[in-house]
């Protein structure tokens, strides 16, 4: 065939649908699960939608992407929300992002945060540190680092934060002492809005519905229950039986057992890629809040985020939690009959050296007409809208 697409998540589904809409039907998608959507899949739990890969919202910011998605799940089938996300700072609940909402804290805590923002290395002209943990303090001050960023990131990504680089954080805004002081005095937020300031969520379905529809548009051009275990790079043959002119890899490189013909150095590079796993658990009680989601840096709580389902799924109850697998007692949860889903591949980790390693890998594979695409193919923290945009661009180039 002309194109073989590995993985039926948003990346693979978008790429395949772009081919189809350009009149190309000589392709196949192969997927290890029995349904499409990847991390964006949903199911029904307790009579309402549940996103098994964690809370998923469609950012409104890219009109080409929303138009593409609405082509499968019509715009009228989505509700539009103004983001209400909060941080539970050990009992003090304030808006997110933290730097814009310090004014909501009790006075004593505001003073502490302000003091440390003034002392932050970047505000005092100190050189930028190399390590993630030092960098956070340099950028945001000791109080934000200690009370929020470090414990939260440890809970989400795992304990070894020093293996992470700082290149992925450079877009974080500088926290200005003067502006924070003014914000505290005037009791109002300041600064730029975070991603998902406005977002869409389907009115009567989970987020995964859009991708189920993308998959059904492909008919029998998806083979399910077909895990990829080998790629032959010189001959472009997958699992010893599928061969194609071009292969699009949207699955994790680390999940493929046999890399035939790949130079040893690059196979070693794949072995260095790291990721973290997340468990999503359903809790049937309602919460007394209007927030869509709440972040929890407190290390005593196993989960790091709660998604308040009844505030974005009309007619639903309960909430769901996101917990790093290493902090989740699966045996106990199973024994107690709780409802949870394990996502082995949740976050590609931005370890030191990853960018160079991926660049080399992707340049080599592209020379063989094998292209990495999406969260795993490119090993990047892309949200689904970015993955869709990248898949749209790859198909038209």
Ligand X SMILES: Cc1cc2nc3c(=O)[nH]c(=O)nc-3n(C[C@H](O)[C@H](O)[C@H](O)COP(=O)(O)OP(=O)(O)OC[C@H]3O[C@@H](n4cnc5c(N)ncnc54)[C@H](O)[C@@H]3O)c2cc1C
175 vs 387, beta carbon nearer ligand X: 387
> What is the smallest separation between the CB atom of 134 and ligand X, expressed in angstroms?
27
- The DSSP element (H or E) to which 258 belongs, if any, is strand 258-260
> 203: exposed, middle or buried (C-beta count within 10 Å: 0-12, 13-18, 19+)?
middle
**91 with 299: CB under 8 angstroms?**
no
The answer to whether the CB of 42 falls within 8 A of the CB of 191 is no
Residues 6+ apart with CB under 8 A from 40: 9, 10, 51, 53, 56, 207, 208, 210, 211, 384
Min dist. Cβ of residue 12 to ligand X (A): 6
Q: Cα(373)–Cα(39) distance, rounded to whole angstroms?
A: 15
Mark 282-321 with x for binding to ligand X (rule: CB under 6 A) and - for no binding.
Answer: ----------------------------------------
Shortest separation between residue 366's beta carbon and ligand X, angstroms = 17
**394 binds ligand X per the rule CB under 6 A:** no
Q: Is 368 exposed, middle or buried (0-12, 13-18, 19+ CB in 10 A)?
A: middle
Contact 371, 246 (CB under 8 A): yes
User: Which residue from 197, 227, 339, 389 is in contact with ligand X, where contact means CB under 6 A?
Assistant: 227
- # chain residues binding ligand X, by CB under 6 A: 38
Instruction: Kindly tell me which residue out of 16, 18, 29, 40 binds ligand X, with binding defined by CB under 6 A.
Output: 40
Q: Is 273 in the site for ligand X (CB under 6 A)?
A: no
**CB 175 → ligand X: shortest distance, Å?**
24
The verdict on 275 binding ligand X (CB under 6 A) reads no
Residue 71 or 129: the one with the smaller Cβ distance to ligand X is: 71
Q: How many residues does the chain have?
A: 397
228 binds ligand X (CB under 6 A): yes
Inter-residue contact 207 to 12 (CB < 8 Å):
no
Listed residue (161, 167, 176) closest to 120, CA to CA: 176
CA–CA separation, 153 and 138 (whole Å) = 16
| Alpha-carbon gap, residue 247 to 368, rounded angstroms | 9
| 208 belongs to the binding site for ligand X (CB under 6 A) | no
In the list 49, 54, 206, 297, the residue contacting ligand X (rule: CB under 6 A) is: 54
Q: How far is the CB of 93 from ligand X (least distance, A)?
A: 21
Considering only residues 129, 165, 191, 255, which one is a binding residue for ligand X as defined by CB under 6 A?
A: 255
Residues of span 329-388 touching ligand X by CB under 6 A: 345-347, 374-376, 382-385, 387
The answer to the question of residue 99 lying near ligand X (CB under 6 A) is: no
- Closer CB to ligand X, 135 or 382, in the complex: 382
Residue 324 lies near ligand X (rule: CB under 6 A): no
Question: Apex CA 297: angle with CA 292 and CA 299, to 5°?
Answer: 135
Q: Select the residue whose beta carbon is closest to ligand X and give its number.
A: 9
151 is a site residue for ligand X (CB under 6 A): no
Interface residues with ligand X (CB under 6 A)?
A: 6-12, 30-33, 38-40, 53-57, 227-228, 250-252, 255, 278, 322, 345-347, 374-376, 382-385, 387
């Amino acid at each position: 065939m002309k194109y073989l697409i590995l993985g039926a998540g948003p990346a693979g589904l978008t790429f395949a649908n772009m081919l189809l809409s350009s009149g190309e039907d000589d392709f196949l998608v192969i997927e290890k699960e029995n349904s499409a959507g990847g991390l964006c899949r949903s199911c029904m739990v307790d009579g309402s939608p549940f996103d098994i890969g964690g809370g998923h919202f469609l950012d409104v910011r890219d009109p080409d992407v929303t138009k593409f998605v609405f082509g499968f799940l019509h715009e009228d089938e989505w509700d539009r929300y103004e983001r209400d996300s909060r941080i539970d700072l050990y009992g003090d609940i304030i808006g997110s992002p933290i730097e814009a909402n310090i004014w909501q804290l009790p006075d004593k805590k505001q003073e502490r945060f302000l003091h440390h923002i003034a002392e932050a290395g970047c505000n005092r002209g100190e050189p930028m540190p190399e390590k993630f943990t030092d960098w956070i303090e340099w950028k945001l001050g000791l109080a934000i680092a200690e009370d929020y960023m470090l414990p939260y990131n440890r809970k989400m990504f795992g304990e070894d934060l020093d293996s992470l680089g700082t290149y992925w954080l450079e877009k974080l805004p500088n926290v200005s002492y003067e502006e924070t002081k003014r914000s505290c005095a005037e009791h109002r937020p300041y600064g730029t809005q975070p991603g998902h300031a406005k977002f869409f969520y389907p009115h009567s379905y989970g987020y995964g519905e859009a991708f189920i529809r993308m998959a059904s548009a492909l008919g029998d051009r998806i083979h399910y229950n077909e895990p990829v275990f080998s790629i032959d790079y010189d001959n472009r043959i997958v699992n010893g039986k599928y061969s194609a002119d071009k292969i699009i890899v949207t699955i994790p490189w680390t999940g493929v057992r046999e890399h035939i013909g790949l130079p040893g150095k690059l196979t070693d590079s794949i072995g260095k890629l790291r990721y973290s796993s997340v468990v999503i658990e359903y809790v049937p009680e309602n919460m007394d809040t209007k927030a869509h989601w709440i972040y929890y840096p407190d290390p005593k709580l196993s989960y790091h985020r709660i998604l308040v389902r009844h505030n974005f799924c009309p007619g639903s109850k309960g909430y769901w939690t996101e917990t790093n697998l290493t902090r989740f007692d699966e045996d106990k949860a199973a024994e107690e009959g709780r409802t949870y889903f394990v996502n082995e591949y949740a976050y590609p980790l931005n370890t030191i050296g990853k960018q160079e390693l991926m660049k080399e890998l992707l340049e080599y594979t592209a020379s063989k007409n094998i292209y990495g695409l999406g969260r795993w193919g490119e090993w990047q923290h892309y949200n689904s809208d970015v993955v869709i945009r990248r898949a749209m661009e790859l198909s038209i180039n």
